[in-house]
Every structure is written in structure tokens, then in C-alpha cells.
Structure 1
Amino acid sequence: MHGGRSEGEEPPSRLNLPGARMWPFTRAVLRATAGLDVVVGRVRYRHRGWNGSRADAARDACRALDEMEQLIGLVPVVLVGHSMGGRAALSVAGHDLVTGVVGLAPWCPVDEPVAHLGGRGVVLLHGDRDRVTDPRGSVALAARAREAGARACAVLLAGGDHAMLRRATAWHTLATESVTGLLGVGPLPDAVGRSLLDGGAPSTV
């Protein structure tokens, strides 16, 4: 799920650069799961913004999960979301299908609910030079999620920015290995494993 804005009634533009930025992640996951019984899907937003209590991106994500359940039944799902899409992924992680979330520079308000994350795997990746969403928010949310019973951690990418263009290969690799690890079809990245073994203390790569 790609990023967006805090407010915006209009649909994403046809060019949709935030959506385009997610394609390398999609391709990386497809390559890593080739030959496995894994389906990769994308959520289409009706609106460009989160739009306050409407939480439009989360509504769209929940609708997509419901449609997936109707199409292929009860299967484990790992959600991947960047920025606003990360917030949407975390918001709907209580859905019956969701087993894990990989947040990429996610938007994590200080009062975001976390009780529904209990029992889920949560990996939050954040560049330490992000000037759009605060990496400290990811660290704090991961800590609160652990208290709620999630297997959660935050990993900081040294020099990483919000657009995930600096150290792009590291972003793609960490995200892909986190997805396959949470699905149980591969090992988790070393940085994620270290953080989980250290009681969720954030690690830096």
C-alpha cells in the first residue's frame, strides 16, 4: 500500500508516483516467492488522503482483505505499506487474514491503537533521516505493540530518507525478507532477528 496525504478527497493521480515507488517492492516479493503458493495484491485507494476519522486508506485496505477472503479463502496475509499506507496496514492488522505487517517509513501517530496487533508480527523499517514521518514514532509504536502481545520491532536504516531512494536496495531486501519471514517461507532478516532477540530494541543497519 502506497503513501498519500493527511487530507485529500481526490483519487490518486494517473501518474501516482507514490504507487510507482512500491513496484520495486512488489517485483522483489514476486521474485522471492516464485514457485511458492503465494499471491501478491495491491490496494487501490478511492481517495488520496487519510481524511481524519474516515481513515479512507484503512477502509480501502479492509475492503481489499474482505474481497481476498471471498476469492481465495482463509490464507495468511502480510501487509506492506509505506507512509500513509503503513498506517493503513497497521490499522487493519486485526483482520482475520492478517498474520503480519511490514511498515515502510510508516505514519505512526502517538495515540494510534495497538491492542489489535496482539499475536501479529510487526516489522517497522524507517530511515533515520526521514523528514516526513518520524522514525521515533515507529520505535514507540513497536514498543507499545510488544506490550499488546505483538512480535514487533523497528529497524532504522542509516541515512535512509522517506522516499526510500537512498539505499534503495537495502530497503527492498529488508522488506522482502521480512515478508517471506513473517509468512514462514524464509528466514527473517538478521537485523529483525537481532531486534526481536534483544526484546524489541531497535537495531540500525
Structure 2
Amino acid sequence: MEEPASAVSLTVPASEPQAAVLVLHGGRADGLEAPPPWNLPGARMRPFVRMIGRATAGQGVVLGTVRYRHRGWNGDRQDAARDARRALAELADRVGDVPVVLVGHSMGGRAALRVAGHPRVRGVVGLAPWCPAAEPVAHLADSRIVLVHGDRDRTTDPRASQEFVRRARAGGAEARMIPVPGGDHAMLRRPGFWHRLTTRLVTGLLDPTPRPPRAAAR
């Protein structure tokens, strides 16, 4: 399939970029068709982009969304991760060699974690991420990772996120998980909490301190 003209859509540009946030929405396990122009997983992330944009206004932070060529991860093809790598390369061409924080939901969380070892990635916030048992962690040494998962998620398993964090920390990552009591996969329960917490985590990761920001679900 012919690649789209752009792997990343810049939602909030900056005249003098100092950092960037890339958002990766969810998808499917399998699906070679192109995502429709308007899709629910993408729409679900727009409130996060708006709130992060308000919190970082005037700070030289570029906000963008990764554009997928296919709706699914598609097994060994790992299409979403490939698109995330393409987006990081294109972002560097467009705004320069700035540090990047990735925010990924579900399949997008898996893609973000796959590319977290990229030298420009400062940190990852994974929202209800898809973390299969065999998901690699060796590339995450020294990475800064925060996973946020609702305890009522019936699509991706919060216990799998906890296990991923355990393995990542054993491999040298600065990783932690924040549970969301009552939270579901679509983040429709307690949406304001999801948005505020994610924004706080992103702004903390944009600050080059040695450890991930600490936050507690309340």
C-alpha cells in the first residue's frame, strides 16, 4: 500500500520548538484496511490533546498525532509501531531534534512502548495499553514510563500492565503503574480524571528530571 503523505499530523505547532508530544490512538489486533478519515479511537484522544495544549501553551511544545496506514497491529508486521517510528523521523525533519513524550492508548500504547528506546523519546504515558505477555522490554533500559490502567478494563488487562512494569523495571527502566479505580478501557468513566492525570504526567515528563513524575489516583 502506498504510504500516506505524512506520518504525523501537527495539531499544535510552535514557532520555536523546544519539545514535542506525539499522541497515538488505539486500533485493532488485525486490520489491513486504512483507518477512516473520522474514527472513534482518534476522536477519543482529542480531549487529551486539547488539555495538554492548554497546559503547555507558550512553552514551545509541538503537539502531533501519529497517522496509521492500517487499522491493526497485524502480528509480526507491527504496523502501528512502524508508523510510530516513521512519525518520529518525520517530526525531527519538521521541527528539529527536540525531545518527545509519547501518549498512547491501547494499541497506540503498545506502539509507543515499542519505540520508547528511540534517542529522542523522553518518556511514555500508556493509557490502558495493550501489553501481551511476551512484549519485549530489553530496549527500555533508562526509559521513563508511566502506565495508567482502569481496574474495570475488559479489553486490555490491567494485570498485564502491572507485569510489564515489573519486567521493565527489572531491565533498568524507570517505570510505574497508576491504577484508576472504576476506570474502563474507553476512559469514559471518570474522563476528567483521565485527562487531568495524563496532562500532569506529560508535563512532568517534559521536565528533564531524573525520575517519572509521581501521581496517585484519587
TM over 0.5: yes
1:178–1:188 CA contact under 8 A, matched in 2? yes
Which of 185, 190, 193 is residue 215 of structure 2 equivalent to?
A: 190
Q: 1:11 to 1:49 in 2, by over 3 A?
A: same
Q: Percent identity?
A: 64
Matches within 5 A, 1:104-115: 104-115=127-138
Residue 75 of structure 2 aligns with which residue? Answer: 52
Alignment partner, residue 176 of structure 1: 199
Aligned to 1:35: 58
Q: Structure 1 residue 75: deviation in Å?
A: 1.2
Q: In the alignment, which of 6, 9, 13 is matched to residue 36 of structure 2?
A: 13
- The structure whose residues are more often helix, as a share, is 1
Task: Return structure 1 stretches of 4+ with deviation > 2 angstroms.
Answer: 185-190
How many residue pairs get aligned? The number is 193
Per-residue CA deviation, residues 91-135 of structure 1 (Å, 9 max, x unaligned), is: 011111101000000000011001111111100000000000000
Tell me the CA shift for residue 185 of structure 1: 7.6
TM-score under structure 1 length normalisation: 0.91
| Consecutive unaligned residues in structure 1, runs of 5 or more | 192-203
Q: Is the 8 A contact 1:100 1:182 kept in 2?
A: yes
State how far apart, in whole Å, the 2-side matches of 1:138 and 1:2 are.
17
1:87 equivalent in structure 2 = 110
Report which stretch shifted further, 88-97 or 124-133: 88-97
More displaced, 124-133 or 113-122?
Answer: 113-122
Structure 2 residue ranges without an equivalent (≥5): 1-23
Structure 2: how far apart are the matches of 1:40 and 1:114? 26
The match for 2:84 is 61
Q: TM-score, normalised by structure 2?
A: 0.85
Q: CA RMSD in A?
A: 1.5
Corresponding residue for residue 198 of structure 1: none
Q: Which has the higher strand share?
A: 2
